[in-house]
Structure 1
Amino acid sequence: MWGDALRENGQCWKRFCAPFRSVKDGSMMLVTTRCPEVTEGVRTMDPVILEGLKDDVFWNFFKLCVFGSESSSNHPELEHIGIKKLPKLRGSPLAAETMGRMLSMDLQASHWNFILQSELWELRQGETEILRALRLSYMYLPFHLKRCFSFCAVYPKDYKFQKERLAEIWVAEGFVEPQDICCQYFEDLVARSFFQKFNGRYVIHDLLHDMAQKVSEHDCFILRNKSDFDKVPQNVRHLCILPSSEFDDSNLLRLCKYTKLRTLICKINLGKRTCFVMDHWCTKLTRTRVMSCAFTNEVPDSIGNWKHLRYLEISRTCTLKRIPSTFCWLYNMQILYAKKCNLQSLPADFDKLTSLQKFDKELG
């Protein structure tokens, strides 16, 4: 559980627990968290503090991550280097896997010493030793992988990524092209344990997500509640708006001042007011390249102002019936997802979108 589980003065947690009030004697609920406020808010007994793996178990796991087996007899010098720095990882399997994959890229003592003696180990920014280790693994990624991974901080924890869809967005952002190279970048990040496969999709471990947010804190931001509007970085480039009953159009219009925005992911449904808000965004946020919205009943004529737009997704079922003719001014448009919309027709000049590579739709 995360701290936001206790939002609305704990009412969210109470609603979650409501179905479990009628249970058999002896039933129990196990809650895991890294948030002290959650511990105090939900516990009915003293918490059990989980420590890292014991040294011998951790060392064997670390060697497995680096060498592919628990034997390091062929690399005595590397074993000596690794043992000295192992305490820094505090027994965290994730830190061992991430750091181990990075060290396994080059089994030379000079490479290991360079990384493990890095001054990043000595950072004092309120981070845990584990986060510093993970940040170190990020710092030694190639630049193109850094940029692709740090962008993922705009998505919330536990988000399920689709490889091809994320690759399309990376291309739209201008991080790299063509898309098949982006898919290879994704696989490179998987190989380094920055993504983990989960039920056919991919997730980012919570600690790695924390690290991604740390390294991209001025570029990426997630709006979860009304108070977050006062925390948005002035030069933010990638923004995600999560569903909240606190949001209304007056809040969302405040985003018009962030004119450097390139990515806008909007997960809320304002009903008939959606077009009104989008009209203002299209007028003011003219550098937008990627727009993903959950719902809109109408696309405003002002969308023609988004000359840099390359990716547009309308993800949920909605009553959108037409696309305005000004949409055909978007000569950089590459990807359009509108499969769940009730489109009746397309503009006459739709064939002028010469950069369009994919249009996923069903015409009524």
Structure 2
Amino acid sequence: GGIGKTTLARHVYHNSKVKAKFDIMIWIYVSANFDEVKITQAILEQIPDCEYKNTKNLTVLQRGIKKYLTKRFLLVLDDIWEESEGRWGKLLAPLRCTEVKGNVILVTTRKLSVANVTSKTEAHINLSGMNEEIFLRFFKQCIFGDENCGCHNKLMKIAKQTAAKLKGNPLAAKSVGTLLRRNIDEINWRKILDSDEWKFENGMDSIVPALMLSYNHLPYHLQLLFSYCALFPE
């Protein structure tokens, strides 16, 4: 996560040339809680002049899709985790029945397996990390802001080593950059560079250790607040 998938999708969604091609624009944030009924309800809620029965019956809701989604649409499903081809097919069934041509469904996901299920006929776009040189400039900006960092030669060596661990991930750069900015001190920076959290990197997801570092450096009362918030559904 944090590589910029949602940001890129939002740029596409709000682009004036894109908007001109569609009569209906729908954005649904899905996340790990894939629920065909809730997603279908959310789609209906964003269709202009749509009057549908407030029900949890998927068949009834899908009839509403067929009835009201009669113009060309762009549907963005953001942050999909569901890998089941059957559940994906069930969700899309009424969307495939529309007689209007030129509809687009744009999916963002961090999982290649999901991309393969959701885009069997269309090529998917794999976002990689930022260019190394550009990323380092961005990381410096996250740490120092507009301040000239030329007087921090020793610290910049540590910053470069830390940046390499972030693998071009902009959200990781913001997270760790903010952490370094709080205490511009060589001992503190080396402690972060040598932290055990870097061992928890999950494949290509470089955001995990960065978020763990941020969490572990929070005051204890804020850590408790995070734990409390985890009790509530997204």
TM-score (ref. length: structure 1): 0.38
CA–CA separation in structure 2 for the residues paired with 1:17 and 1:71: 54
1:3 aligns with 2:98: no
1:147 aligns with 2:224: yes
CA–CA separation in structure 1 for the residues paired with 2:140 and 2:111: 31
1:59 paired residue number: 136
CA–CA separation in structure 1 for the residues paired with 2:137 and 2:99: 45
Amino acid at match of 1:10: W
1:14 aligns with 2:14: no
Q: Assess if the C-alpha contact under 8 Å between 2:130 and 2:170 holds in 1.
A: yes
C-alpha displacement at 1:131, in angstroms? Answer: 0.6
| Residue deviations 1:289-347 (CA, integer Å, cap 9, x gap) | xxxxxxxxxxxxxxxxxxxxxxxxxxxxxxxxxxxxxxxxxxxxxxxxxxxxxxxxxxx
Corresponding residue SS for 2:151: coil
Counterparts of residues 321-336 of structure 1 (less than 5 Å): none
| Residue deviations 1:131-170 (CA, integer Å, cap 9, x gap) | 11221221111111111123222334xx4xxxxxxxxxxx
Which of the numbers 37, 40, 50 marks the counterpart of 2:116? Answer: 40
C-alpha displacement at 1:7, in angstroms? Answer: 8.1
2:170 paired residue number: 93
CA–CA separation in structure 2 for the residues paired with 1:46 and 1:70: 43
- Give ranges in structure 1 of 5+ residues lacking alignment: 160-364
Which of the numbers 104, 107, 122 marks the counterpart of 1:31? Answer: 107
CA–CA separation in structure 2 for the residues paired with 1:31 and 1:88: 28
| Residue deviations 1:334-361 (CA, integer Å, cap 9, x gap) | xxxxxxxxxxxxxxxxxxxxxxxxxxxx
CA–CA separation in structure 1 for the residues paired with 2:166 and 2:182: 19
| Residue deviations 1:237-283 (CA, integer Å, cap 9, x gap) | xxxxxxxxxxxxxxxxxxxxxxxxxxxxxxxxxxxxxxxxxxxxxxx
Q: Max radius of gyration: which structure?
A: 1
Q: Percent identity?
A: 34
CA–CA separation in structure 2 for the residues paired with 1:67 and 1:16: 51
Structure 1 pair 124–155 and aligned structure 2 pair: CA distance change class (3 A)? same
C-alpha displacement at 1:57, in angstroms? Answer: 1.4
Structure 1 pair 4–71 and aligned structure 2 pair: CA distance change class (3 A)? same
Amino acid at match of 2:160: I
CA–CA separation in structure 1 for the residues paired with 2:145 and 2:214: 19
The structure whose RCO (Cα within 8 Å, separation 6+) is larger is 2
Q: Assess if the C-alpha contact under 8 Å between 1:6 and 1:13 holds in 2.
A: no
Corresponding residue SS for 2:105: coil
C-alpha displacement at 1:88, in angstroms? Answer: 0.9
- Give ranges in structure 2 of 5+ residues lacking alignment: 1-78
Counterparts of residues 28-177 of structure 1 (less than 5 Å): 28-43=104-119, 44-69=121-146, 71-123=148-200, 128-156=205-233, 159=234
Amino acid at match of 2:95: C
Aligned residues: 155
Structure 1 pair 125–90 and aligned structure 2 pair: CA distance change class (3 A)? closer
CA–CA separation in structure 1 for the residues paired with 2:164 and 2:100: 44
Corresponding residue SS for 1:29: strand
TM-score (ref. length: structure 2): 0.57
Q: Assess if the C-alpha contact under 8 Å between 2:197 and 2:213 holds in 1.
A: yes
CA–CA separation in structure 1 for the residues paired with 2:151 and 2:82: 48
| Residue deviations 1:178-208 (CA, integer Å, cap 9, x gap) | xxxxxxxxxxxxxxxxxxxxxxxxxxxxxxx
CA–CA separation in structure 1 for the residues paired with 2:203 and 2:110: 15
C-alpha displacement at 1:36, in angstroms? Answer: 2.9
Q: CA RMSD in A?
A: 2.7
C-alpha displacement at 1:124, in angstroms? Answer: 6.3
CA–CA separation in structure 2 for the residues paired with 1:30 and 1:90: 26
C-alpha displacement at 1:70, in angstroms? Answer: 7.2
Amino acid at match of 1:110: I
Question: Which structure has greater helix proportion?
Answer: 2
Structure 1 pair 70–35 and aligned structure 2 pair: CA distance change class (3 A)? farther
